[in-house]
Amino acid sequence: MSLEIAYAAMGGDLETVRGRLLTDERIEKFAKIFLQDTSMQTLENALEAGDFAEAYRGAHTLKGVSRDLGFTPLFNAAAELSTALKLDDAGVPADLARVPELMPAVRDAYTLVVDSVAII
């Protein structure tokens, strides 16, 4: 599958990534490296354990990587979750009550990106 088809399937921003990474080969390389990224698992495990600092780290990492690779739906979902999980000075997430409603969008966007990248 071509990068164009994969990025269209996931609703990504290939043109912006091309401007940043310059070659399709480089984009493909980094997109495939994303398949080995453990940030989603870190996020899920941390939420299950109630480790909000680690959950924030996982969400924030997903946000950054997805921004850099033009995975727009995942970036948007992870950014919202990251904001909700951001800890205040006392170590309390900004909006913990929203996390259960935000996680399905993160999971769905993550699965879409993984499925799209897996067939490049």
**What pLDDT score was predicted for residue 119?**
87
**What pLDDT score was predicted for residue 63?**
98
Backbone region of residue 11 per phi and psi (left: phi > 0; alpha: psi in -120 to 50; beta: other values)? left
* Cβ proximity of 110 and 41 under 8 Å: no
Both tokens of 6, joined, read 């994969």
Q: Which of 54, 84, 79, 55 is nearest to 65 (CA)?
A: 79
Residue 94: CB atoms within 10 A of its CB come to 13
**Type and span of the H or E element at 45:** helix 39-49
Task: Assess whether pLDDT exceeds 90 at residue 7.
Answer: yes
- Full-model pTM: 0.93
Say how far apart CA 48 and CA 28 lie, in whole Å: 32
**Every domain of the chain and the residues it spans:** 3-118
CATH architecture of 3-118: Up-down Bundle (1.20)
